[in-house]
Amino acid sequence: MEVKTNTPFATQKIAQDLAKNLKGGEVIALFGDLGAGKTVFVQGLARGLGIKRRIISPSFVFMRTYPIILSHQTLTFYHLDLYKGESMADLASLGLDEIFSPESVVVLEWADRIKKELPKKRINVFFETIDEKTRRISIKRS
Ligand SMILES: Nc1ncnc2c1ncn2[C@@H]1O[C@H](COP(=O)(O)OP(=O)(O)OP(=O)(O)O)[C@@H](O)[C@H]1O
Ligand SMILES: [Mg+2]
């Protein structure tokens, strides 16, 4: 599906709607340039998953985790930001296998940085900046 949004709030609404359909075990890969709206989207996802804490970009650490409840189970929401292109050694030390599990929902900003390591079955979200206020958002499952 493809939509255009004209406000950050509208982008968050798209994410919140997606969050409502998550069951656990999903990997959501975000692609798009600086300022395209990836973190704004993650904020909407988090809200849709019932996370009350404010989502900030993981800048000093490139991963943050939040407990979520989905289908009456406590799972973990992982927010990764790979902008700085962490080395595979860093990522390996995180244990990507552990992160990509049925007990988690994972969202990755700059997912192209580890495209080869991503599970094939995932939700891809592409962001394009049209102008200052307008973003094109395409969601494609693979
Ligand atoms: N329609 C829109 N949807 C989302 N953000 C918008 C929209 N219009 C304007 N913005 C603005 O664009 C910026 C998006 O910033 P955001 O941090 O989400 O980008 P990002 O893709 O995470 O960038 P980075 O790669 O630096 O992490 C915000 O300042 C937001 O207010
Ligand atoms: Mg960001």
Q: Residue 57: is its pLDDT beyond 80?
A: no
pLDDT band, residue 86 (cuts 50/70/90): low
Asked, for residue 44, whether it belongs to a domain, the answer is yes
Asked, for residue 72, whether it belongs to a domain, the answer is yes
Q: Residue 78: is its pLDDT beyond 70?
A: yes
Return d(Cα 128, Cα 89) in angstroms, integer: 30
Asked, for residue 45, whether it belongs to a domain, the answer is yes
Task: Give residue 63's pLDDT.
Answer: 87
With vertex at residue 9, the alpha carbon angle to CA 60 and CA 73, rounded to the nearest 5 degrees, is 65
pTM higher than 0.85: yes
Asked, for residue 122, whether it belongs to a domain, the answer is yes
Task: Give residue 54's pLDDT.
Answer: 82
| Residue 127 Cα: closest atom of ligand 1 | 21
Higher per-residue pLDDT: 57 or 114: 114
Asked, for residue 139, whether it belongs to a domain, the answer is no
Cα of 82 from ligand 2 centre, angstroms: 9
Asked, for residue 65, whether it belongs to a domain, the answer is yes
Task: For ligand 1, pick from 3, 9, 39, 110 the residue to mutate: most ligand atoms within 8 Å of CB.
Answer: 39
Q: Could you list the residue range(s) of the whole structural domain that residue 122 is in?
A: 10-16+24-130
Average pLDDT over residues 118-135: 97
Q: Residue 96: is its pLDDT beyond 90?
A: no
Higher per-residue pLDDT: 71 or 123: 123
Task: Give residue 44's pLDDT.
Answer: 98
How many structural domains compose the chain?
Answer: 1
Higher per-residue pLDDT: 57 or 127: 127
Asked, for residue 106, whether it belongs to a domain, the answer is yes
Task: Give residue 121's pLDDT.
Answer: 97
The rounded mean pLDDT for the chain is: 92
- The CATH number of residue 54's host domain is 3.40.50.300
CA 31 to chain centre: 10
Residue identifier of the C-alpha nearest atom 26 of ligand 1: 34
Asked, for residue 56, whether it belongs to a domain, the answer is yes
Helix axes 8-20, 38-48, angle to 10 degrees: 40
